[in-house]
Structure formats: C-alpha cells, structure tokens
Amino acid sequence: MLDVVDIAKILPHRFPFLLVDRVVDLKEGEFIEAYKNVTIGEQIFQGHFPGHPIYPGVMIIEGMAQAGGILAFESMSKDEQDGTNDKVVYFMSIDKAKFRSPVKPGDKLVYKLSVLKHKGSIWVLKSEAFVDDKLACEAELKAMIVDK
C-alpha cells in the first residue's frame, strides 16, 4: 500500500531512524498494519549485543509509534494533509508496555495498531508488534500532532 518512499513523504525520520519499511493495510481513523525487516546490517547491532544481537525494545516501541504517526497523518482530511510538512507527531505517553519475545536479525517485525481514542490532535493507540504471528511487544501509545 505504501512503500518506504511514500513513508518518507509522511514521516520526518530518515536512515538510520526510519523504522517502517512498508504499510500493508490501513483504514483511516481505525487501524494500520506495517512492517520493518530487521537485518544484521543495522548499526544498533554493533553494540546491542556483540555476539548476541537483539533488537532493542525501545526501537520496537519507536517503530510502532512511527506506524501510528503514519495512521494519524493518513487519517487527516485532504485539507489538513496540505500542511503535513509543517506538522510532527510527539509522544505524550507510553503505557502498559510489555516485551514478550526477543526480536533478532532476519525477523520481519509486523506492527499492528488500532485506534482506542481520537479527539482533535490527540491519538491513543493499541500497539502490538509480531514476529511470525508471535507477539513480541505491546503498548498503549498516546501521541499528539503539533506544528513544527
């Protein structure tokens, strides 16, 4: 549905911090499914951990948040989207975060987020990350779209 070139038009993040490779499903105002291919070539594995590479939980949370940002921006009206370059999504809170299983190089990390609440510029999202249909991480994310 959206490839990394399309995603880069929506999010301000760039390599090595753009953590969404593709959006495969999205229903405006309701849900998004996206993924990141985790590879051994990622800089983070130089230090986390040498000889035992594990993708950091904080990066999984950030990837889910970026997917949530795509959902929020794509859910805006066409008039609102005209000013997207002047807007950014800020975290407000991360609640109920749990890490269920490690993510390793070679894994396809699938982000599934659904809207719990949306009022004005504030979004509350149920966020989950899976590897091979196994839950790796879950959290409730709250974010706000603001002017840069």
**DSSP output for the chain:** -B-HHHHHHH----TTS----EEEEEETTTEEEEEEE--TTSGGGGTS-TTS----HHHHHHHHHHHHHHHHHHHS-HHHHTTGGGEEEEEEEEEEEEE-S---TT-EEEEEEEEEEEETTEEEEEEEEEETTEEEEEEEEEEEEEE-
Is residue 58's pLDDT more than 60? yes
pTM, rounded to two decimals: 0.95
Domain boundaries, the chain: 4-147
What is the reported pLDDT for 83?
A: 54
> How far is residue 88's CA from residue 101's CA, in Å, rounded to a whole number?
31
Is residue 92's pLDDT more than 90? yes
Mean pLDDT of 53-74: 97
Is residue 21's pLDDT more than 60? yes
Least confident residue range of 46-50, 59-63, 78-82: 78-82
Is residue 44's pLDDT more than 70? yes
Confidence of residue 124 (pLDDT cuts 50, 70, 90): very high
Is residue 85's pLDDT more than 90? no
Q: Which one from 13, 48, 52, 118 is the annotated catalytic residue?
A: 48
Q: Is 52 a catalytic residue?
A: no
What is the reported pLDDT for 84?
A: 59
What is the reported pLDDT for 130?
A: 98
4-147 topology per CATH = Thiol Ester Dehydrase; Chain A (3.10.129)
